[in-house]
A = this chain, B = another copy of it.
Amino acid sequence: MHADTILHARWIIPVGPSSRSHRLSMTDAPSGYGPRDHPHGLVLEDHSLVMADGLIAAILPTAEARELVRSTGARSIELPDHALLPGFVNAHTHVAMNLMRGVADDLPLMRWLRDHIWPLEGRFLADDFVHDGSLLACAELIRGGVTCFNDMYFFPEATLRAAEAAGLRASVGLPVIDFPTPWGSGPDEYISKGLALRDEWHGHPRMSFMLAPHAPYTVGDEPLQRIRVLADQLGIGVHMHVHETAHEVMEAERLTGERPLARLDRLGLLNEQFLAVHMTQLNDDEMALLRDRGVHIAHCPESNLKLASGIAPIARLKALGVNVAIGTDGAASNNDLDLLGETRTAALLAKGVSGDASAVPAAEALYMATLGGARALGLDERIGSLEVGKAADVIAIDLNQIETQPLFDPIAQIIYAASRQQVTHSWVAGQMLMNERRLLTVYEDDLLANAESWRARLVTPST
């Protein structure tokens, strides 16, 4: 067997496949319930993960792996206090908005957008702003264990350059909106620029694309019909904010008599390639429709709470079989890109809102943060779980810290107690991006200085 690097870990949590055939003995635990009983709750103890040519070549007991080190001369990394798991997938971001983190808080969505975000974007939205904000966000994502993010913003070429430089995997939205911005005059130009960008990057091993119409209230029927045709022809997904607030749904009903989701279905957009972000407002028929169409949900609980938009009924959607991924949304409305923390919030909130403490158990939450996210982006053949043949998108979490000891169950400890600062290592397609918390592809000091210089520009009064 060929091997580049072999990671010897205390625990390996593969997440997929959803089979229990590989169940090995786990840390003894009291008679209680635990993630071990869940289809995604497999935990391998004292196993090693073998990387070769950017892929996962094997997962095997560490005793066997040490033989392999000797025979192949592979690099060996000891992770005696760590769990290895698939890198987190952040299913909804606006990474450039890291430059506007905390610029306006404690406001509802429309006032926040109209009075603060849109005016600042009007003044500063340009290639350099998007590149610098995206690179700052990439550093935050890597430090938090995210290995793939799904973005929606203008100047996506700048986000692509940042993700490429940082070594992250990205699903980049090709934005479409009915009004002009510094990036384009309207839907025609947005679509043509987006497709040209996709052509330019086609075949890149870490970059993929989704069409990204902003929201039902900002994109008309004609562009949406073109988007549907393009998505079918090109076989790519569609990423869109839908039913973020009650106001959005009520206004659509008042003006057109039709709820936004019904309109999207009439236009043929709802299918297994459609990723609906937020979805805080859903009646029973709509939940059944989502299930029937195979639509994926990007759940952004902290942004939804902070903007008082509502709470997506995740426990019910999961029970129906709808695939739910987790997104942080942009740093201006969250205010972080902490996918692990977001997943914890999602799990807690699902229990609290459904009134069922067993809703979204820890292993299910971990699935949403990894393989569920990969499915939502159409990338589950390549990433989202630790399986032989998949890309080596892997993170290590050190669980031997005051905050996570004693340890009865690694999955419960990761979801309910660990923080993203316990992520120590990260690899994407076999490339190490972080080693013992040190970033290897970006320079933190430069990023901090650059963030401060953007702050000074943003607070300068407009003239």
Contacts and interface: CB of A to CB of B under 8 A. Distances in A.
Interface of A: 27-35, 99, 101-109, 112, 115-116, 120, 136, 139-140, 143, 302, 304-311, 331, 334-336, 338, 341, 345, 348-349, 351-352, 354-359, 361-362, 400-409, 412-413, 416-417, 419-421, 444, 447-448, 451-452, 454-455, 458-459, 461
A332 to B, nearest CB: 10
A311 B409 contact: no
22 contacts: A29-B459, A33-B104, A34-B105, A102-B408, A105-B362, A105-B409, A106-B358, A107-B357, A140-B402, A302-B348, A306-B351, A307-B351, A307-B357, A308-B355, A309-B352, A338-B403, A341-B341, A345-B345, A402-B448, A406-B454, A406-B455, A406-B458
A256 to B, nearest CB: 24
B116 A406 contact: no
A106 B143 CA distance: 28
A357 B120 contact: no
B109 A357 contact: yes
Contacts of A345: 345, 348
A134 to B, nearest CB: 13
B106 A311 contact: no
B407 A336 contact: no
A178 to B, nearest CB: 26
A307 B261 CA distance: 33
Contact of A305 (B348, B412, B452): B348
This chain: copies in complex: 2
A104 B413 CA distance: 11
Interface centre among A35, A139, A417 (most CB of B within 10 A): A417
Contacts of A108: 356-358
A406 B309 CA distance: 26
Contacts of A308: 351-352, 354-357, 359
B304 A352 contact: yes
A403 B112 contact: no
